[in-house]
Structure 1
Amino acid sequence: MTEQLTYPTGTTGLILIDLLNDFLAEDGKMNPAIGEQVKSRNLVANLARLIEGAREAGMKIFYAPHGLDEHSFDDFNVVHPVFQGGLANHIFWKGSYGADFYPALRPRDGETVLTQHRMYDSFMGTDLQERLEAQGVEKVVFAGLTSGTCIEGTGRHALEAGYHVTFLADGVADFTAESHRAAVDIAYPTFGHAVLSIDEFLTSVNNSAKQ
C-alpha cells in the first residue's frame, strides 16, 4: 500500500455492486454456482465490516444493483448467451426477491441506490456517472460481485472516465477461484490505481480524516 494514498470522505465513493439475494441468499438462483466461493472468502462478513467502517467514517456509499426484465435487450441485435440465460431464468428479475438487496448488506436511508445495470458495466444505461458528479466524487472504490465481470467491467469504465480507481481484493468473489485470481492478480493492477484489503482501505480513510 502506498503511504501517501488517501481517501477523503468528501471526494471518495464506495461502490457496492450486486449485493443481491440471487447471489448471496442460500435460496438465490445464482447461489448454487457461487455460494462456495462466497463462503470460502468470508465475503458477507468482510463486506459487512467494510460497510460499517465506511459508514462510521462518513463515506459516500453507492449501491449498484443488477436488474433485468423482458425488455432489457430490446435494442440489441445479438444478446450474449449469459444474458440469454438470465432472461430465460429470470435472474436478477426486476421487482423479484432475487433482485432485492441481501438483508445483512442492505442500503440505509441517505445512501445512493443507482438505477439497475443490465450487463457487466454499472455505468452503462444507469445514473452512476450523474450521481458521482453530483456528489463531487473523484475516487471510486469497488467491492461486491463478481470479481472478473461487474467489478472489473465497472472499474475499467471508471478508469477511462478519469476516476482514481481502487479495488478491494477481499471484498469481491467470483464463480471460481481461477477467475477471481485472474481479476485480482492481473486485471485489477492493470486497471486500478490501487488494490487493497478492506482493512488497508479503512485505515487509509481514517488516516485521511486526521490530515
Structure 2
Amino acid sequence: MTTEYPRDISALVIIDPLNDFLSPGGKLHDGIKDEMERVSFLPNLMRLVEGARKAGLQIIYAPHGVDEHSFDDVPFLHSYLHKNTRDKQYFWKGTWGAEFYEPLRPQEGDIVISQHRLWNSFRGTDMQEKLQARGIQKVALCGLTSHKCVESTGRHAFEEGYHVTFINDATAEFNRGEHAAALTYSFPLIGHADLTVDQFLAKL
C-alpha cells in the first residue's frame, strides 16, 4: 500500500523527552504536568513512538542541553535565558534533568541529535547533517513544547525545504493559551500536514 511517509525518506523527530519535563522531581515538571495530563501528552507520545517503531520508521531524538558557556557568543542575552538557563540551570548538561526520560530513551538504530541551546533543534546542532546523511526529506515533529521548540524546529525545517508534519496531540505547553496558538495558527500554517497520533499511525 502506498504511504505518505516512505521509510527511506521519512522520520519521526521527538523533541526534548527529558527528565526536567517528564519526570517527577524534574525542574519543569510541576509547571507543565497539568497541561500534559489535560492533553494526554505522555500516553499519546508513547503510543506514537511504539507505533512508529513497529512500522519501521526512523526515530530521531532532538534534546535540549546547556552549560555555562552555551551563550558566550550572545551579546544581548535575553532575560528569559538568564532566568531559565544560567540561573535555574534547566536541562543542564551532565545532570539528571538533561537525560532522557527512561520510558522514552533512544534505542538501537535511533538517531540522537546534538543538544540545542534554544528552541530551534537545527540551530547550532548536527540536525541538518544527520538528516541529509540519512536521506530524510519528511519530518514528523512531536514533543515539548508546542509553542516553543516544536514550532521553532518546524519553522526551520519548513524553510530548509523539508516536508513538515506536526503530530498535534503528541505535544504540550505550559499553558493552554500558548498551546492553542500553536495548534490553531502555527501548525496549520507551517506544516504540510497537521495530524493526530491516530491519523499519522494510520498512514504508516
1:15 aligns with 13
Query: Which of 21, 24, 27 pairs up with 2:25?
Result: 27
What's the CA shift string for 1:140-169, capped at 9, x where partnerless? 000000000000000000000000000011
Runs (4+) off by over 3 Å: none
Deviation track 1:62-121 (CA, whole Å, cap 9, x = no partner) reads: 100000100000000011222112111111000100000111111112201110000010
Q: What letter corresponds to residue 141 of structure 1 in structure 2?
A: A
Report the counterpart of residue 187 of structure 1 in structure 2.
186
Offset at residue 5 of structure 1 (A): 6.9
The match for 2:66 among 59, 65, 68 is 68
Residue aligning to 2:97? 98
3-state SS in 1 of match to 2:168: strand
Q: Which amino acid aligns with 2:163?
A: H
Residues 168 and 198, structure 1, Cα contact 8 Å, conserved in 2: yes
**Equivalent position of 1:155 in the other structure:** 154
Q: Match for residue 113 of structure 1?
A: 112
Tell me what 2:129 maps to.
Answer: 130
In 2, Cα distance between equivalents of 1:81 and 1:61 = 34
What amino acid maps onto 1:107 in structure 2?
Answer: P
User: Percent same amino acid among aligned pairs?
Assistant: 48
User: What letter is aligned with 2:14?
Assistant: L
Q: Give the letter aligned to residue 133 of structure 1.
A: Q
Give the equivalent residue in structure 2 for 1:83.
Answer: 81
- Aligned alpha-carbon RMSD (Å): 1.0
**Preserved contact between residue 47 and residue 105 of structure 1 (Cα < 8 Å):** no
Please tell me the residue identity of whatever aligns with 2:32: I
User: What's the offset of the Cα at 1:175?
Assistant: 0.5
CA distance in 2, matches of 1:8, 1:80: 41
Letter in 2 for 1:139: K
Residue aligning to 2:41: 43
Q: Which residue of 2 aligns with 1:177?
A: 176
Matched residue of 2:35: which SS? helix
Consecutive unaligned residues of structure 2, counting only runs of 5 or more, are none
Quote the residue 1:56 is aligned against.
54
Deviates more, 1:148-157 or 1:5-14: 5-14
- Report how many residues are paired: 202
Quick one: distance in 2 between partners of 1:32 and 1:174? 12
Give the aligned partner of residue 208 of structure 1: none
Question: What is the alpha-carbon distance in structure 1 between the residues aligned to residue 185 and residue 153 of structure 2?
Answer: 16
Q: Is the 8 A contact 1:9 1:58 kept in 2?
A: yes
Q: Is the 8 A contact 1:169 1:198 kept in 2?
A: yes
Amino acid at match of 1:148: H
Structure 1 stretches lacking a partner, 5+ long: 206-211
Aligned to 1:209: none
What secondary structure does 2:121 align onto? coil
Question: TM-score, length-normalised on structure 2?
Answer: 0.97
3-state SS of paired residue (2:54): helix
Query: 1:197 and 2:182 equivalent?
Result: no
Quote the offset at 1:33 in angstroms: 1.1
